[in-house]
Amino acid sequence: MTTGGRIDKRQAILDGAFTVFAREGYAQACVQDIARESGVAKPTVYNHMTDKATLFVNALEVAAQTALAERIAALEPLAAPGDDLRATLDEVAHALLRLHTDSRSCALKRLLHSEINHFPDILEIVKESGPDRLNNALADRLARLALAGRLRAADPDLAAEQFMALLLGPLEARSRLGTRTLEDAELRTMAAAAVDAFLRAWATP
C-alpha cells in the first residue's frame, strides 16, 4: 500500500511546504512553489493533502514536534548536573538560545502567531508541542535540584517559567524580531546574564 516512495514524497512535501510557508507566509505562499521546493509536481501535492489549509497545518505540526524534541533534548545536562550548577545552567541556557534563534524556529513561531486566528487547529499544536511542554520538562529537572537542596524548594513550575522568561525575553529585541543573526558570543553573554539573575532569584539563600 504505502510504498517507500510514497512516504518519502510525503516527507519531502511537508518539509518543502514548511520552508515555503516560512519564507512567504500562508497566504503569499503558492502551491506551485511548494511543489517545486519539494521536488514534486503540483498534482502530487494534492494527491497527499486535500488542500492548502491542511497542508499548512500538517507542515506546522511536524515542525513543532521536531522543535520541541530538540529543545527537550537540550535539557539533558540538567539530569546529572556536576558540582558547578551555574556552569550546567549556562550550558543548557546557551543550547536553548541557539535552538530558539534558529531560523526555522523563528519562522515556526511567526507562522503560529500570525495564522492562529484563521486555523483553530493550530491551537491544538501549541497545546501539544508548545512552550508548556518544555516548561514542564524543565520544571521536572528543577524540582529534583530543589529536592537536592540546590535551589529554593518553592514552585518549580514558576521557576521554570521564569528561567525561560529571563532567557528568551531579551531575545526578541536583540534579534530585531528574528531579523538579525546573533553571534555565538552574544548568545553566551545573554545566557550568562539570564542564569545569573535566575540564580540570584532562585538559589538557596
Partner DNA sequence: CCGAATATGAACTCATGGGTTCAACGTAAC
Partner DNA sequence: GTTACGTTGAACCCATGAGTTCATATTCGG
- Per CB under 8 A, residues contacting its own copies are 23, 25-28, 109-118, 123, 126-127, 130-132, 135, 158, 161-162, 164-166, 168-170, 172-173, 176-179, 193-194, 197-198, 200-202
Q: Which does 42 bind (CB under 5 to 8 A by kind): its own copies, DNA, none?
A: DNA
Among 15, 25, 31, 104, binds DNA (CB under 7 A): 31
Give whichever of 40 and 107 is closer to its own copies, judged by the CB atom: 107
What own/partner pairs with CB < 8 Å and gap ≥ 24 does 35-44 have? 38/9, 38/12, 38/13, 39/12, 40/9, 40/12, 40/13, 40/16, 44/9, 44/13
Q: Which does 77 bind (CB under 5 to 8 A by kind): its own copies, DNA, none?
A: none
Nearby residues of 157 by Cβ (< 8 Å), 6 or more positions away? 135, 136, 139
- DSSP state string for 129-155: HSHHHHHHHHHHHHHHHHHTTSS--S-
Collapsed DSSP state (helix, strand, coil) of residue 84:
coil
Number of Cβ within a 10 Å radius of residue 192: 15
- Contact indicator for 198, 96 with CB cutoff of 8 Å: no
Q: Which does 189 bind (CB under 5 to 8 A by kind): DNA, its own copies, none?
A: none
Q: Taking CB under 7 A as the rule, which mask of x and - marks residues 49-78 in contact with DNA? A: --xxx-------------------------
Sites for DNA among residues 1-30 (CB under 7 A)? 1, 3-6, 9, 28-30
Give whichever of 11 and 136 is closer to its own copies, judged by the CB atom: 136
